Structure 1
Amino acid sequence: MMDRRNFLKATGIGILAAGTSGTLLTACSTEKKKRSSGKLNLSFEPYDLKLRHAFNLAKNSRTHTPDVLVQLEYDGIIGYGESSMPPYLGETQVSVCKFLSSLDLSQFTDPFRLEEILDYVDSAAPDNRAAKASIDIALHDLLGKIMQQPWYKIWGLTPEKAPDTSFTIGIDTAEIVRQKIEEASPYNVIKIKMGLDNDKELVNIIRSVTDRPICVDANQGWDNKEKALEMIQWLSERNCLFVEQPMPKEKIDETAWIKERSPLPIIADEFLQRLPDVQRAYGVYDGINIKLMKSTGMHEAYKMVTLARALNMKLMVGCMTETSCAVTAAAQLSPLMDWADLDGNLLISNDRFDGIKIVNGQVKIPDRPGIGVIPV
C-alpha cells in the first residue's frame, strides 16, 4: 500500500480547506477529525486488500482490491464502515475519498435521523454507491452500539435461520483448482466462477474430488442464449443449485428466454444495483443477489429484500472482496436469505476486523451491538 504522502500526490486530492478558520484537513487522512460532542464526525483512510489467490473472472483478473475504511463517531461511540472497489463498480480510492471529503455530517446532531442523513449522503452526488455504503454501514454500526443491540435483533430476525455460505473458486489451472477445493473443505457449498471456454473442464475437475453442491456465477460470460441454456441444463445434472448472471446484463430478452426454459433458478448480479432494479429484474430473473457495495448499504438492501419477497423472488446476499466489516454488516440480513455468498473476508490476507464466523459451513452472526465487528 502506498504511503500517505504518495497517495495524496497521486490522487491529486491534496489538501482541502475546511471551514472559515483555515484549518487544513487532508482528504484521505488516517488522523481523526477533531471530535465535538453531539455531532457526527467522519474520518477515513485508503486501504489495499491483499488477495490470497489471484481472483480470476471471465473478463478480468486481480491480486488486490482497493478499499477505504471509515469511522463515524458520535459522543465517543465509533461506528465502522467500509467501501470496497472491484474494477467493474467504476469507483476508486480517489473517487471515494473525494466524495467522502465533500460531506458535512457534522450538521447532524441526532444520528437516529437515519433517513434524513442517508438522503443527504445519496443526494450529494450521483452513483458513488460503494462510498455511500461505507457511510450507511458505519451509521448502522453506530446506532446499534447506541441501542446496544445487533441489527439482526433490531430487525427481529432469527440468526439460526442464516443459510450456509458458499466459498468462491475462481477460474484457474487444474492444480490450483484442486488446491482451492482442499481449502474449501469446511464449506458445504462451492461457488464457481465461469464464462470461458473451459467451463465444463472446471466442473469436471471439481466433481473428481467432491460431490458437494455447487453454484455458478458466469459474470456475464455467456453471449449465446442457446449455448447458455445448454450449459445450465448440463449443470443441473451435476448438483448445481443456481446460476448467476449467465448473460450480459444488457441482454434482457435473452435472459428472460433462458429463465422460462431453465431447470435452475437464474439470479441477477451485475444487472442489479439498487431498489428500482428489483422491479426491473422481476420476470427476467428468478432471484436477486444483493450486495451492500451496490445497494448503497444496509438500509436500502433491507428495502430490496422486502420488495423482492413481495414479488416472490429468490434472495441471495453477497459481497465483494471486503474485510469482515462489510461482510459482517451484510450477514445481519442473512436470516432473510435463501442463499449466502459471504466469503469476501476469507479471500484476503490482511483483514482488519473480527466479525462473522462460519461454523460447519453456516453463517454465524456475532452477538455484538451494531454490525458486530471489533478492530484487530
Structure 2
Amino acid sequence: MRHVFTVASFSRTTTPIMLTELSYDGLTGYGEASMPPYLGESQATVTTFLEKVDLSRFTSPFETAAILTYIDALDDKNTAAKAAIDIALHDLLGKLMQQPFYKIWGLDPQHIPPTSYTIGIDTEEMIRKKVSEAEQFKILKVKLGLDTDKMIIDTIRSVTDVPLCADVNQGWKNKEEALAMAHWLQVRNVVFLEQPMPKEMIDENAWLTERSPIPTIADEACQRLQDVPQLKGVYSGINIKLMKCTGMREAKQMAELGRSLGMKVMLGCMTETSCAISAAAQLAPLADWADLDGALLIANDLYRGMTVENGYCKITDAYGIGIDLIH
C-alpha cells in the first residue's frame, strides 16, 4: 500500500494476492485473487483451491459456462480464488477472439462513470495530503464509521468541494443517528452512503433507506447473485466486486439483475493490481458509480492496464481484459 489503509474496523499496509495464468493455443490469460484478511482467504487457501482444479476435462476455453460452473462447485467459498480463474479465462477468451471484452459484451466505454478515489480514516494532516494527491478526481470516496466522521468531512471540505461518497463499512449502529448523519452529509455534497449499518440489521437499513435524503448502497450485504433480489427495498443499490462474486461473469449478471429491479449499480474493488482492476473496468459501462482505484493505492503494480485520466477510467482496445505484464 502507498499509505496505511484504515477503515472503521481495521488498518493494514499490505494485501496478499495470488496471480494466475491460463494458457491455450499459444496464448495466455492473466487472473488475480486479491484477499483482504476480512474475506477469510489467504495465499494458502487459494493454493489449496487451485490444486483441486482440473481443466483437462474441457476441450475448449469457450465452454465458459461449464468451466465456471465446475469451478464454483468445487467449494462453497473461495470467491477470490474463483475470480482469479474467471478473470484469466475471460482474458484468454478475448485474446482468442482478438477483441477487448467490453466489445464482446457490446458495451460502450464512453458510458464509464468517473471513478472515485478512496480517502481512508486518518489524521487531519494525512487527510489533506491524500486529498491533494487526488486533485484529478471528480468524486472522492471517504471512509467513515468512527467518532471522527465529522472531522474527516470538515477537513476534506476545507480543501475541496468535489462530490463525496461515504463508505461507513457497517460502522454505524443506531438508525436514528444514521439518519441524522445522512442529512448532515447531504448538505455537504455527499451523494450516497455505502453500507451504513451492519448487514445483519436488515430492518434498520431498510428504515434508513426509506427516509434517507441520499441513496444507500449494499456492500458487505451484497456478495453474490443470489443476494441481489433480497436487497431490493433494504438498500437503494448494490456494490459489485469481482473478488466477492467469483469474477466477471457473475458480476455482469448481478449488474443486469440489479438494473432490472430498479436498483443503482456501483462497481467496486479491493486493493488490486491492474489485472483485476482492468477486468472490472470492462464492466464499468453498466455502472452508475465506479470505485476502481485499487491499483492506484498500491506501490508494486505488476501490470499496465486501465488508467485514470482526469478522473475517468480509460480502457484500451487491447484484447481480453486489456493488460500487459511489466517484466
TM-score, normalised with respect to structure 1: 0.86
Whether 2:207 is the aligned partner of 1:257: answer yes
Moved over 2 A (4+): none
Partner secondary structure for residue 14 of structure 2: strand
| Equivalent-residue separation in structure 2 for 1:82 and 1:149 (angstroms) | 20
| Equivalent-residue separation in structure 2 for 1:250 and 1:366 (angstroms) | 40
Partner secondary structure for residue 165 of structure 1: coil
- The one-letter code sitting in structure 2 at the alignment partner of 1:176 is M
Of the candidates 69, 89, 94, which is equivalent to residue 44 of structure 2?
Answer: 94
| Equivalent-residue separation in structure 2 for 1:341 and 1:207 (angstroms) | 20
| Equivalent-residue separation in structure 1 for 2:307 and 2:15 (angstroms) | 22
Match of 1:373 in 2: 323
- The one-letter code sitting in structure 2 at the alignment partner of 1:102 is K
Aligned pairs for 1:1-376 (under 5 A) are: 51-376=1-326
> What's the C-alpha RMSD, in Å, of the aligned pairs?
0.6
* Cα distance, 1:76 vs structure 2: 1.3
| Equivalent-residue separation in structure 2 for 1:87 and 1:226 (angstroms) | 31
Structure with higher RCO (Cα < 8 A, 6+ apart): 2
| Equivalent-residue separation in structure 1 for 2:216 and 2:225 (angstroms) | 19
Partner secondary structure for residue 273 of structure 1: coil
* Cα distance, 1:325 vs structure 2: 0.2
User: For residues 89-140 of structure 1, what are the alpha-carbon distances to aligned partners after superposition, in whole Å with 9 as ceiling and x for unaligned?
Assistant: 1111100110001111122221100000001100111110000000000000
* Cα distance, 1:367 vs structure 2: 1.3
* Cα distance, 1:356 vs structure 2: 0.5
| Equivalent-residue separation in structure 1 for 2:58 and 2:23 (angstroms) | 12
Q: Which has the larger radius of gyration?
A: 1
The 8 Å contact of residues 70 and 135 in structure 1, kept in 2 or not, is answered as yes
TM-score, normalised with respect to structure 2: 0.99
The 8 Å contact of residues 290 and 317 in structure 1, kept in 2 or not, is answered as yes
Structure 1: state its 5+ residue gaps: 1-50
Match of 1:4 in 2: none
Q: Which has the higher strand share?
A: 1
The 8 Å contact of residues 168 and 191 in structure 1, kept in 2 or not, is answered as yes
User: For residues 191-236 of structure 1, what are the alpha-carbon distances to aligned partners after superposition, in whole Å with 9 as ceiling and x for unaligned?
Assistant: 0000000100100000000001000000000001111111111000
The 8 Å contact of residues 357 and 366 in structure 1, kept in 2 or not, is answered as no
Structure 2: state its 5+ residue gaps: none
Identity of aligned residues (%): 61
| Equivalent-residue separation in structure 2 for 1:354 and 1:338 (angstroms) | 25
**How many residues in Structure 1 have an aligned counterpart in Structure 2?**
326
| Equivalent-residue separation in structure 1 for 2:315 and 2:220 (angstroms) | 26
| Equivalent-residue separation in structure 2 for 1:158 and 1:125 (angstroms) | 35
| Equivalent-residue separation in structure 1 for 2:221 and 2:37 (angstroms) | 16
| Equivalent-residue separation in structure 2 for 1:182 and 1:150 (angstroms) | 34
| Equivalent-residue separation in structure 1 for 2:202 and 2:95 (angstroms) | 43
